[in-house]
Chain A
């Protein structure tokens, strides 16, 4: 979808922001550009909608050199969300969301319908928020509007520059989760910039780790955690790499559908109406999409060695502490072979 071919970007003051970048962002995936401040990740993102122009090399959009596409037309095909949100304070929420449809000259009915649809999607009931002004909204709500505005004209690509970076941790977490759900619905190609490795691991199908304007590693989160390409990647991930691996590992990948006899008790203890175990410890079941890290945490919390995996209030299997540990042991073996 978006292809970087030996792209260099040098600013007029001599700073080399991007240095020989070559990689491809696949259609329909979320690719996270991650790295420390000044590593060139934002510049890389802005090369896609021509807010920056490469000094050497080519960026392709759907196979076409983006230098051949008129900048404003290109940008209207690409959603843009920034950390500072940048809502138009003098316009109502509805007018803000309608920005790109209006630039594209949609008729009013179509625009109105689309605005309502997006406000609903972002959890802002249109009847309540349409006529509000940005100043009346909280930071989290404002960024929801920011995302709705970027999605308004159904862009093929979304660029998100630390979109949740300025929000408080709880709001950030909520918006990340919601955005993951939305992303499944919209099937847009997303380039997401962050300096937070946890956010990168959570949001990304693919992670492009950058340092000093160069691509250090381009991999899936699991592969990057399993085999950091360099010392830099390893350091950037941090000392709790194994725990982070558990975070990107879904329960569904390690659960057993056949319940072993020794763990029968936790399954029997599960009652959709009551989550308290017989011995008094609190047992919270996991869902197949929860991470192995959550499962392990709840095992430790409840003092058990296994947890029921529950979907739609029925037990569909168990996940055991042993399997979580075992998954990692397998990997150690696989790497040493």
Chain B
């Protein structure tokens, strides 16, 4: 019993002693995730839309994206070092690659899953291909895309920690340093911080997804958070 208590003590002690470094690394981790998303999302969404017009391309692209996801992360980071050096660039490239599959797949499923009757009506009423995409397919697909973004972001926040292996930014530094130093408290605190961050991102996008579904007229049981979200939104209107 006293062992557990002293272990918790050591965690609190470590957090208190290193709060400024922890915060800095936490901040780096967030920035890294956002940078990755800013690059990854446009690529994945455009690809997801593009392959919705060609079934064969869809098979190939989704297959490549799945294969990318099977590469062990340490190996992937390692392979990028000779090309991009160490530090942030190779980490971002690898994370962008890893986040493609969920977003491409969901974008593709979202835009192809639109009721064919709605698409036919859109065409018959004189929408161009772009207007059908912009006014019908994409708005309907957006909540599905957002679900893919949630998957991707949880994945990439976790994998970003491994990026410290090649000198990337973020909380992974404490994990690898803790392993080297045999400092369990350091490892545990950094790991918990990574999990909290992943859950926070997941929650943020879950709320966005719900908001989009409600905006699309889907019949959802409102949660307290979405009520708050709606209340804030109406305040700004």
- A and B found bound together: yes
Q: Does any Cβ of B come within 8 Å of A159's Cβ?
A: yes
Contact B140 A51 (CB under 8 A): no
Contact A90 B140 (CB under 8 A): yes
Cα(A91)–Cα(B120), bound, Å: 16
Q: Does any Cβ of B come within 8 Å of A73's Cβ?
A: yes
Q: Name the distance in Å between B209's Cβ and chain A's nearest Cβ.
A: 14
Q: Mark B46-79, 1 if CB is under 8 A from A, else 0.
A: 0000000000000000000000000000000000
- The A133-156 residues at the B interface (CB cut-off 8 A) are 133-136, 146, 149-150
Contact A86 B126 (CB under 8 A): no
**With A88-B136, A89-B140, A134-B217 known to touch, is A82 a contact of B126 (CB < 8 Å)?**
no
Cα(A76)–Cα(B125), bound, Å: 6
Contact A84 B117 (CB under 8 A): yes
Q: Name the distance in Å between B119's Cβ and chain A's nearest Cβ.
A: 8
Contact A89 B124 (CB under 8 A): no
CB neighbours (8 Å) of A89 from chain B are 115, 118, 140, 216-217
Cα(A76)–Cα(B129), bound, Å: 14
- The B97-127 residues at the A interface (CB cut-off 8 A) are 115-127
Q: Contact size class for B?
A: 20 to 34
**Interface Cβ pair total, 8 Å cutoff:** 80
Q: Does any Cβ of A come within 8 Å of B131's Cβ?
A: yes
CB neighbours (8 Å) of B13 from chain A are none
Contact B217 A73 (CB under 8 A): no
- The B201-237 residues at the A interface (CB cut-off 8 A) are 215-219
Among candidates A88, A100, A133, A159, residue contacting B126 with C-beta atoms closer than 8 Å: A100
Contact A103 B126 (CB under 8 A): yes
Contact A76 B126 (CB under 8 A): yes
What residue in chain A is nearest B123 (Cβ atoms)?
A51
Contact B217 A86 (CB under 8 A): no
CB neighbours (8 Å) of B124 from chain A are 49, 51, 75, 80, 82, 159
Q: Does any Cβ of B come within 8 Å of A315's Cβ?
A: no
Q: Does any Cβ of B come within 8 Å of A92's Cβ?
A: yes
- The B128-149 residues at the A interface (CB cut-off 8 A) are 128, 131, 135-136, 139-140
CB neighbours (8 Å) of B140 from chain A are 88-90
Name which of A87, A90, A100, A103 has the most chain B CB atoms within 10 A of its CB: A90
Contact B123 A92 (CB under 8 A): no
Cα(A51)–Cα(B123), bound, Å: 8
Cα(A80)–Cα(B117), bound, Å: 12
Q: Does any Cβ of B come within 8 Å of A99's Cβ?
A: yes
Q: Name the distance in Å between B203's Cβ and chain A's nearest Cβ.
A: 24
- The A82-117 residues at the B interface (CB cut-off 8 A) are 82, 84-92, 99-100, 103
Cα(A89)–Cα(B127), bound, Å: 16
Contact B121 A87 (CB under 8 A): yes
CB neighbours (8 Å) of A149 from chain B are 121, 125
Q: Which are the 7 A-B pairs with shortest beta-carbon distances? A: A133-B217, A86-B121, A80-B124, A86-B117, A75-B126, A84-B117, A76-B126
What residue in chain B is nearest A103 (Cβ atoms)?
B126
29 contacts between A and B (CB under 8 A): A51-B120, A51-B123, A72-B126, A74-B126, A75-B123, A80-B121, A80-B125, A82-B117, A86-B117, A86-B118, A86-B121, A87-B118, A88-B118, A88-B122, A88-B136, A89-B115, A89-B118, A89-B217, A90-B139, A90-B140, A91-B217, A99-B135, A100-B126, A134-B217, A135-B217, A135-B219, A136-B217, A149-B125, A159-B124
Contact B131 A92 (CB under 8 A): no
CB neighbours (8 Å) of B126 from chain A are 72-76, 78, 100, 103
